[in-house]
Structure 1
Amino acid sequence: MSLTVVVASRNRREDLLVTLPRHEAPVILVDNASTDGTVDAVRAAHPGVTVLPLARNEGARGRTKGVVAAGTEFVAFADDDSWWAPGDLDRAVAVLRAHPRLAVLNARILVGPEQRLDPVCAEMAASPLGTADDLPGPSLLGFVACAAMVRTGAFLAVGGFDPVVRFPGEEERVALDLAAAGWGLAYVDGVTVHHHPSPRRDAPARRQAAVWRARLLTALMRYPAAELAGLVRDAATAGKPGRRGLARAARDVPGALRRRRPVPTRVWADVQRLVS
């Protein structure tokens, strides 16, 4: 097999028992120290799934451990509440094989039983970066992990998801590093991921704080120094979620500084094109 599906989860046993059979490739489930009996339940109900239990919640870093354990040329990510449409794992592999510079393929995301197009897909389809001649769709500087297939060698060469950002927002630093190394990322609406959001989700304010934390730490690792003060100011004036994000980022500043490597000028220029 050239492909593995890697699912990372924590305390979503019932969701997993429904979605795991939908994956049309070998599956590695990385369990982030669940306390709801996920590991035993999955092993009993789906013995074909490889379960990798972690001693503590490592967030998105768990996905990286799943990629290492997979050892396949390509890895498709999925969440406990998402799955790739029938036949589309094979289609995505074919696209990656046909485009050797492509490191990350972001699929179209349809949300819920009504299959609404995720708004982020419309943004990706209209990417101001355009479509490079050697890529299968609009160029990206970010992706949605649960709808991404990665070229394993490229993903691991840039370190995969890191222990600083963890989750959410783990994709940006990986995308920036891949672009800096000359790899391409693209949105391909010819393949589809279904996402039925679990009812067990963080409150919006808590998630917004986590997003601010990720933005700040990613900026500290990769943005030009001149940009950092403005982002801190933006967080401080963004209300309670922004201030909470700042506070939560503070404890990981040393780790971010140890990994600081600002992106090349050409990559930063593309970042500016996306936000202008």
Structure 2
Amino acid sequence: MSTGSVPAGTGTGLRAGPDPRVAVVVITHQRREELLLAVARLLALPERPHVVVVDNGSADGTAAAVRERFPDVELIASPENLGAVGRNVGVSRLTTPYVAFCDDDTWWEPGSLARAGDLFDAHPRLAAATGRIVVEPGGIEDPIVAELRDSPVRGAPWLPGPALGSFLAAATVLRREAFLEVGGFSERLWLGGEEELMAADLAAAGWELCYLAELTVHHRASRARDAHLRRRHGIRNTLWTTWLRRPLRPAVRRTLHLLRTVPRDRVTVLAVLDAVRGIPWVVRERRILPPHAEARFAALEQAQRLSTARRYVS
């Protein structure tokens, strides 16, 4: 059966023409060729989503290339690298009820955005749905998928998939209303594990997050990355998020576990020093999660200790 012969709203995820409900925000930095491939794939989707590209201060001609090759794409050329806050800027340009995020090395499978729209329409308290991540070029599932599928978090009984405590931004569709309610991504965290703080605030506000196997996102990891800097920010942001939102005992427990298991090297030392320098800010902004939201993070502690997919290595 052809895509055009399937009527809208059948629940198949394929619609008879463009789907105006879900837009896509892509952040990029210094990856022109990879971004151009990802945008071409997004524009070829049957949903024909509106695509917003936020170029985080690239100096490799990314912005000019997007303007020339994809005139219908909304381009935001930031003079500086905003990190994850670039997503906030992209979302601020949208009026669609739902937004799918991508990095410049990820892209959504045809039909996934329409399926997400159907599921969000049906579940008005669903804030975020993370899809199945397929690693390219091999086409195998990312190891994190098993952890998402077997999540120990208990959510509302109406959820269409396993409840999650956090999400992976580049593989997630979010409800724009919920995203704006909690203020988007933290400017202080910048990039690297920035999702956990937003997930905590969504849960505190009564929103739900889940994994949806019906959604698929492809990831071909770029080699153009500073793995040490990403690890440094990831350790720092985990410490900050822990002390911003967790009660005293769980915060101490997670901090000790993190410090016991990260590599003992210069990157880790710098990350811890970064975290220490942020203590005054953390103290000012500390808001302990309400019991229903804290229960989600408590349920994840054992899984985090045993995880082989969530390690701070570089």
Same fold (TM over 0.5): yes
Bigger Rg, structure 1 or 2: 2
Within 5 Å, which residues of 2 pair with 1:89-100?
Answer: 89-100=113-124
What's the counterpart of residue 210 of structure 1? 233
How many corresponding residue pairs? 275
Residue 210 of structure 1 and its aligned partner are, at CA, apart by 2.0
Among 217, 225, 243, the alignment partner of 2:269 is: 243
Which of residues 26, 30, 34 in structure 2 aligns to 1:15? Answer: 34
Which of 258, 263, 268 is the aligned partner of 2:294? 268
Task: Using the TM superposition, name which of 132-141 and 230-239 deviates more.
Answer: 230-239
**AA matched with 1:15:** E
Structure 2: distance between partners of 1:134 and 1:185: 12
Is residue 122 from structure 1 mapped to residue 146 from structure 2 by the alignment?
yes
Aligned to 1:86: 110
Aligned residue type for 2:199: A
Shift of residue 130, structure 1, vs aligned partner = 4.4
Secondary structure (helix, strand or coil) at the match of 2:93 reads helix
Pair 1:225 & 2:248 matched: yes
One-letter code of the match for 2:271?
A: G
Equivalent residue, structure 1, for 2:214: 190
Identity percentage of aligned residues: 41
Distance 1:20 1:153, change over 3 A: same
Q: Is the 8 A contact 1:106 1:186 kept in 2?
A: yes
TM-score (norm 2): 0.83
1:107-155 CA distances to partner (integer Å, 9 max, x unpaired)? 1110012111111111011011246321110000111100100000011
Contact kept? 2:85, 2:190, Cα under 8 Å: yes
| Equivalent position SS for 1:194 | strand
Structure 1: give runs of 5+ residues left out of the alignment: none
Contact 2:54 2:87 survives alignment (8 Å): yes
Task: Specify the code of the residue in structure 1 equivalent to 2:210.
Answer: A
Partner of 2:183: 159
Name 1:6's counterpart in structure 2. Answer: 25
- The Cα shift of 1:208 comes to 2.4
Q: CA RMSD in A?
A: 1.7
Return the offset for 1:224: 1.6
1:258 paired to 2:277: no
Deviations 1:156-208 (A, max 9, x none): 101110101111101001111111111100000011001111121223x4432
Q: Deviations over 1:205-236 (max 9, x none)?
A: 44322211110111222122344445454455
Instruction: List gaps (5 residues or longer) in structure 2.
Output: 1-19, 303-314
Q: Is the 8 A contact 1:104 1:151 kept in 2?
A: yes
CA separation of 1:253 and 1:35: change in aligned 2, threshold 3 A: farther
How many angstroms apart in 1 are the aligned matches of 2:84 and 2:193? 9
Provide the C-alpha distance between the structure 1 equivalents of 2:278 and 2:176, rounded to a whole number of angstroms: 27
Distance in 2 between residues matched to 1:246 and 1:135, nearest whole Å: 37
Q: What aligned pairs does 1:14-53 form with structure 2 within 5 A after superposition? A: 14-23=33-42, 24=45, 25-53=49-77
| d(CA) in 2 for partners of 1:133, 1:227 | 26
Cα distance in 2 between the residues matched to 1:76 and 1:68? 13
